[in-house]
């Protein structure tokens, strides 16, 4: 299950339980909607509640990243598992975005805000 909130300055998404293809399609729709009206987006992705993912969701993420390499500016991932650092590194091979893994949501939000301030956005 995924919850998504499209804000003025970033997309916030949290995954609970298993991350499925339907969840990823919902995330894709939010990114494409936000890109249509505001260009590349910042994303806060909270994976602390994720228990795993389906292979079709992983494949769709790979496909989407290859087709949309410049749709993201910064991706802040909040996670407790070290294996996500490896997945983040793999994802960074396909995306032009800055991607960082954080232990807390506060640190992730601060990093996203720092990026907006560097671009001159409040």
Question: pLDDT tens digit string along 13-48?
Answer: 999 999 999 999 999 999 999 888 888 999 999 999
SS3 labels along 7-59: CCCCEEEEEEEEECHHHHHHHHHHHHHHHHHHCCEEEEEEEEEEEEECHHHHH
Going along the chain from its start, the domains and CATH numbers come out as 2-115 (3.40.50.10600)
pLDDT greater than 70 at residue 53: yes
pLDDT over threshold 60, residue 122: no
What percentage of the chain reaches a pLDDT higher than 70? 89
Given this model, what pLDDT does residue 39 score?
A: 87
What is the reported pLDDT for 121? 63
């Amino acid at each position: 299950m995924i919850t998504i909130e499209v804000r003025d300055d970033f997309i916030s998404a949290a995954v609970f339980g298993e991350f499925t293809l339907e969840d990823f399609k919902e995330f894709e729709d939010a990114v494409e909607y936000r890109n249509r009206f505001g260009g590349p987006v910042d994303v806060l992705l909270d994976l602390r509640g994720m228990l795993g993912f389906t292979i079709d969701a992983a494949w769709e993420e790979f496909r989407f990243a290859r087709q949309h390499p410049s749709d993201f500016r910064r991706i802040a991932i909040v996670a407790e598992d070290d294996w996500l650092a490896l997945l983040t590194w793999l994802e960074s091979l396909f995306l032009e975005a800055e991607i960082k893994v954080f232990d807390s949501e506060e640190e992730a939000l601060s990093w996203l805000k720092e990026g907006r301030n560097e671009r001159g956005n409040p």
